[in-house]
Each structure stands twice: as C-alpha cells, then as structure tokens.
Chains A and B, each alone.
Chain A
Amino acid sequence: MAYKKQQENRGTVLSNCFMTNTAKEIRTHLQVIKSLNEILQDTLHGIPGNLPTKYLKRMTIEIDKVTKVTNDFGDTFDLLNEVFELEYEVIDFDYVIKLAVLSVKDSILNKIIISGKTEKKVKVDANKIIKVIKCLLTNAAQYSKQTDYIHVTLTTSSVEDHVVICIQDHGIGIAKNKQKNIFEKKDYNKKVQDDRYPGLGVGLYLSKEIVERHDGHIWLDSSLKNGSKFYFSIPIIK
C-alpha cells in the first residue's frame, strides 16, 4: 500500500517536472517567434498597402493565444495537484479591474468600456483575479465581432457586502441548455470545442475555482444570439 502511494507520488513529481519543463520550452520558443515578429513588423513599417504587416499583427494575436494556452496548461495542472497557492493582499478592487483591462489591451481588438466604481477594498490574490477577468474578457472578444463593444460594469451588492463585476458582450450568446455545465471541466472524449475558438476550454473552470477560493460567486445571464453577461462577486473588506 505504502509502495503504491510512493509510486503515485513519484508519478506526480515526474509529471509535474515534465509539465513545467514543457511549458518552459514552449515559452522560450515563443520568445523567439514574438521577437522575430516584432522585428519583421519594423522592417515592413511604412510600406503602403502592406498586407504582410496585417498578417504579422494577426500573428501577434495568435502568439498571445499560445502563451495563454501554455499558462492555462500549467495552472490547470497545478490546480489538479492542489499547488495552486493564493497570495492574498488587501487591494482596491477598481484598481485590480483597471490592471486587468490594461493587460488585455494588446490582445483584444474590441473597445472595452468600464462604467461604475465600487471604491471598495478586497482581500485577493490580485494576479489570480486578473486572470479571471482576462479570461472573461478574452471569451467576450472571441465570441463577438471585433467592432462590438465589451462593457465592464462595477457595482456593490448591499445584501451580502460583495463587489460585483459584470462583463457583457454582444456576441453569439449561449443557449440555455449549454449554460448548466459551462463552469465544469470539459469532457474531451466529446468534440465540444469549436475549432474557431482555440484554447484548452478550462478558462471558465479555472475562473470558478479561483473565485470560489475567494469566497465569491460566479454566474452568467445569456441567451442565444443576445450576447452574454458574466458576473462574479468577491467579499468586501471593511
């Protein structure tokens, strides 16, 4: 029995090591591709009717997507191994939102409009909360037209003393029957992913885990063709 446990631990350590090294290798190569892309864009700068530049800019978005997938990969793995440690700090919630929106500025073409403010402090792992917001914003952008606005609304819920953020898109929406399991892990035996929207399909699952570890809630309001509103709430620190 003890031997079996030891073997399992060894397996976990080995696969952790393998995952970490694989992710590191991918990021190293991405660094090369990203830099080459920027240098090529410089070289082509100023040429009229420049289609290659347009393609290279598109390539930047794809590089950022691969980076996101690589990070998701590591985080999911950590989460499954319960090494997903949170580093809490007391911080201004509105400021965290601003940071998150700024961080997606380069990878999302849609205009993001922030309205409302909470002026409240929360005790969170800011990097993880930023990750949740980035996930919701990236999803909103992926399922919308590039010209559509994404609305971010900040409020406080007086009943439970929570700050609430709503991320609204005007995209394709989600059918009611698909909403029930949207925060669950995807079953990869079934072909559930749409090829147009790459990713590991774990963003929402991770987001739910992160929000719930902060004693918060995450939910959505959507219907097919009418866009989606994703909400999450975090307790206020008094």
Chain B
Amino acid sequence: MTNKTIVIIEDNRLILQMTTLFLKGFGYKVRKFRSGIGIDEILKKEKCVPNLFIIDICLIPPEDGRNIYNTIRSETSVFKDVPILLCSSMQKRFVMDFKFNDCNEPHFLEKPFSREQLENKIKLLATT
C-alpha cells in the first residue's frame, strides 16, 4: 500500500466502481467523482493533493473531460503539476484533436482497457 492518491472522474457508475477496485488493488488510495464540478474546492477542503487524475472525456453533457484537463493545467490551479490520464470510449483521433492547455501531448487510454494496461499507464504516471 502506497500513500499515493488517485482522483478519478467517470460518469459511468459501473466503470467508476470497477476501475476504483482495480486502483485499490494496485495499492492506491482512490477519491472518486462522477462529475468534475466543484472538485477543486472539495479536494482543497479535504487537503487532498492527488498524485494522479484519471478523467473520462465523455462525461454527462455539457461537461467534457478535456475542459477539466485545461482547468487543472491553468496557471492559477493548485493542481497544475499533477499528472493527468485522459480516457475515453472514443478513439484517440476523434478526441485528441483539441486545444489542450499543455505543451506536452496529454496521456490517453482508450476503452476498453484491461487492468494490465491501466496498471502500466499508472506506473508510468503516478511516480511523484
């Protein structure tokens, strides 16, 4: 068990539940959300500084995971240096053609992913 925390934003209840189970299985603490609205304040209140965000792109409209990505990466955000993994059931070429507020290409995982694929991505990202 590490002390690392992963914040996951996913609107599909079942996927959220099972991905959380996997993440806990890898030894992480998980804070889960079905929407990104107000999480900034909630996390600040809980004094939670995550080691990684996992964000689904296609949330319940009008929410879009890519906008949450840009908000987290904005200059004023306290979480601007926290790694983010975007995931989606849409193929990469449909969703990554977007103006991201980041000089690096965002990390992306396409659904359906296996537990192993998820673990490999997380090992790579949740290092700090």
- A-side residues, CB < 8 A to B, are 20, 23-25, 27-28, 30-36, 38-39, 63, 67, 71, 74, 85, 106
Does B89 touch A at the CB level, under 8 Å? yes
- What is the CA–CA distance of A14 and B92 in the complex, to the nearest angstrom? 20
Other A-B pairs beyond A35-B14, A71-B91, 20, CB < 8 Å:
A20-B90, A24-B58, A24-B88, A24-B89, A25-B89, A27-B110, A28-B15, A31-B12, A31-B111, A31-B113, A32-B12, A32-B15, A34-B112, A34-B113, A35-B18, A35-B22, A38-B22, A39-B18, A74-B91, A85-B93
Q: What's the least CB distance linking B5 to chain A, in Å?
A: 21
**Cβ < 8 Å to A, chain B residues 80-128:** 88-91, 93-94, 110-116
Tell me the complex Cα distance, A98–B14, Å: 35
**Bound Cα distance A39, B23 (Å):** 12
> Chain A at the B interface: mostly helix, strand, loop or mixed?
helix
Chain A minimum-CB-distance residue to B17: A35
Interface size class for chain B?
Answer: 20 to 34
- Contacting pair B114 A27 (CB below 8 A): no
Q: Are A28 and B114 in contact (CB under 8 A)?
A: no
Q: Is B37 an interface residue (CB 8 A)?
A: no
The interface residues of chain A lying within 8 Å CB-to-CB of B115 are: 35, 38
Q: Which chain A positions have C-beta within 8 A of B90?
A: 20, 24, 27
Q: List 17 A-B contacts (CB under 8 A).
A: A23-B91, A24-B58, A24-B88, A25-B89, A27-B89, A27-B90, A28-B15, A28-B111, A31-B12, A31-B15, A33-B112, A34-B114, A35-B15, A35-B19, A35-B22, A36-B18, A63-B112
